[in-house]
Structure 1
Amino acid sequence: MSSDHAAFVEHRISRGEGKVYARDYAGSGPAFVLMHGFPDNLHIWDDLIPFLVASGRRVVTFDFLGFGASDKPAGATYSFKQQLGDLEAVVEGLGLGKIVPVAHDSSGMATLNYALAHPGGVDSAIMLNSAYSEDSTVLWPEMITLFATRSMQALSIAIAQSPEQFGWLLKWQQKKFLDPLPEAQRPHFSAFIGPLISDNFIAQPGAGPAFVQLAAEFFDEHARNAKHLTALKTLDIPVKLIWGQYDPYFPVAMAERRQSQLKNASLAVIPAGHWLQADEPAQVAKAMLS
């Protein structure tokens, strides 16, 4: 099952330095707006979309600037603030009105900050294994930590510029996500998620510059978001936390902590990994639609 079997309209939405690529699947609102983390793109949702579309819901997915089929302008500045702006541009450009932002991985930042900035523009929010404002006890993927640690910048940039070293690091990191998965889920991960991430960097122009800039800002963004936690506690909208339990870096404890920071949050745990929408799409769709 792939989203190519569900009809969508393609859009290129003007956004400062370039255009954002979006796919709009017809259905009734409020639209699910599915976002990706780094170093991913909109294809992480391909297995899930047919289930959502079959339920009659409108679904929009897009690539953040610098990733996937969106523009990757030379010398562009990439940031979490820019990603929030990409989401705002998509909502405005497609006239979506009230939405359900759906986060995965680092797009937890854009999701909750959009809800805080546009409380009337969000029907509810959904977060799949995603970050927002975590404390320093969290052990992030080593590849992210390497690129996010300022004192390691010379080393990380050197690795990024060596296809051989960078390729090795990517494979090593993917194995760390793969190993805890149930046996039955591993082949799809290896055939689908692994290549999707590698191609992001290898196919040129790649997502390397966007990844490097966002990773460099990753820890700072957590600190900035910590200042929003008081406001977050007063947010009235329902937030569904849908979590893959075999994620070695975004554990269920992270979801439980997030739940405690929100006024109206529920938690559903799925027997899947970090990319639970690809591991168990039917279960994720059921939790989203319940």
Structure 2
Amino acid sequence: MSSDPGEFSEHRIPRGEGSLYARDYAGAGPAFVLMHGFPDNLHIWDDLVPHLVTSGRRVVTFDFLGFGASDKPAGVAYSFKQQLGDLEAVVEGLDLRKIVPVAHDSSGMATLNYALAHPGSVDSAIMLNSAYSEDSTVLWPEMITLFATRSMQALAIAIAQSPEQLGWLLKWQQKKFLDSLPEAQRPHFSAFIGPLISDNFIAQPGAGPAFVQLAAEFFDEHARNAKHLTALKTLDIPVKLIWGQYDPYFPVAMAERRQSQLKNASLTVIPAGHWLQADEPAPVAKAMLS
């Protein structure tokens, strides 16, 4: 079980053919807007939120369209551009004005591209073990690579349409993350992160359609973002890179490379895995608030 994230107001924010589910935790200062990645939803932040709220800061979490409690309209083109639009809709819908976008996993795309598009609306940005413009030498999670490789997409879609096969693949991939963790952090992963990911896909309607489409353009999005690196280097916004050192796919070297691509970036390494906000929420919150 995760921590009780505390009291919040719930919102449905119109977004194209559906609506986004958002939670708003009252507080002061530029709101932390916490975004999830490929395989999960806003609940990955449940352990971290109490630490931020206790400090007096306003916190917003939301599910991207196609994930969690947000709508999952059939026939929608799910994309990283759409996810950037989701973030823009949340900011406008909640009248947030100045924010601190917080990325994890694949939401690094929305975080940095929002900062580029709306620099006046961003107080600072935070990235936790997240992707943006990595090159072809990176070893991504095998499940992502399968769905992102064009020559393998027929097989990938067939697997996605079989609950039994998809369930096996999810468990296999989860074990790779689990095995990289110290023994003390494994029980929480098994009790919380693993089931959260599985439920996100197995429960119907699930995140499968959104995941399949996003994964299919994953490599293309990295190539598009690589064209933004010159502009990113001139972006005068503080960026905190907070990284779990035991991540088997997003190594600290990735964070160091990202730091070199930014004008004003700091790096804090946490003894945790890919889901560091659940593994070690207190030190992650401390780094965010420092």
Common fold, TM-score beyond 0.5? yes
Q: How far, CA to CA, are the matches of 1:29 and 1:97 in structure 2?
A: 11
Please say if residues 20 and 63 of structure 1, whose CA atoms lie closer than 8 Å, have aligned partners that are also in contact. yes
TM-aligned CA deviation for residue 100 of structure 1? 0.1
Q: How far, CA to CA, are the matches of 2:101 and 2:83 in structure 1?
A: 13
Where does residue 152 of structure 1 map in the other structure? Answer: 152
TM-aligned CA deviation for residue 76 of structure 1? 1.1
Structure 1 portions without partners, runs of 5+: none
Q: How far, CA to CA, are the matches of 2:77 and 2:136 in structure 1?
A: 26
TM-aligned CA deviation for residue 2 of structure 1? 4.9
Q: How far, CA to CA, are the matches of 2:113 and 2:74 in structure 1?
A: 27
Matched residue of 1:195: which SS? helix
Distance 1:23 1:197, change over 3 A: same
Q: How much is the aligned-residue C-alpha RMSD, in angstroms?
A: 0.9
Q: How far, CA to CA, are the matches of 2:5 and 2:68 in structure 1?
A: 20
Would you say how many aligned residue pairs link Structure 1 and Structure 2?
Answer: 290
TM-aligned CA deviation for residue 39 of structure 1? 1.2
Please say if residues 67 and 210 of structure 1, whose CA atoms lie closer than 8 Å, have aligned partners that are also in contact. yes
- Normalised TM-score (structure 1): 0.99
Which shifted more, 3-12 or 94-103?
Answer: 3-12
Q: How far, CA to CA, are the matches of 2:218 and 2:96 in structure 1?
A: 29
CA shift digits 1:97-139 (9 cap, x unpaired): 0100000000000000000000100000000000000011000
Please say if residues 129 and 255 of structure 1, whose CA atoms lie closer than 8 Å, have aligned partners that are also in contact. yes
Q: How far, CA to CA, are the matches of 1:13 and 1:3 in structure 2?
A: 26
Q: How far, CA to CA, are the matches of 1:5 and 1:180 in structure 2?
A: 27
TM-aligned CA deviation for residue 3 of structure 1? 5.6
Runs (4+) of structure 1 exceeding 2 A deviation are 1-5
Please say if residues 5 and 49 of structure 2, whose CA atoms lie closer than 8 Å, have aligned partners that are also in contact. no
TM-aligned CA deviation for residue 17 of structure 1? 1.5
Residues 1:136 and 2:107 are matched in the alignment:
no
Matched residue of 2:33: which SS? strand
Please say if residues 2 and 50 of structure 1, whose CA atoms lie closer than 8 Å, have aligned partners that are also in contact. no
CA shift digits 1:36-78 (9 cap, x unpaired): 0011100000000000000000000000000000000011110
TM-aligned CA deviation for residue 4 of structure 1? 3.5
Matched residue of 2:4: which SS? helix
CA shift digits 1:134-157 (9 cap, x unpaired): 011000000000000000011111
Where does residue 265 of structure 1 map in the other structure? Answer: 265
Matched residue of 1:4: which SS? coil
Q: How far, CA to CA, are the matches of 1:117 and 1:5 in structure 2?
A: 31
Structure 2 portions without partners, runs of 5+: none
TM-aligned CA deviation for residue 164 of structure 1? 1.4
Q: How far, CA to CA, are the matches of 1:129 and 1:73 in structure 2?
A: 29
Q: How far, CA to CA, are the matches of 1:89 and 1:121 in structure 2?
A: 13
- Normalised TM-score (structure 2): 0.99
Matched residue of 1:2: which SS? coil
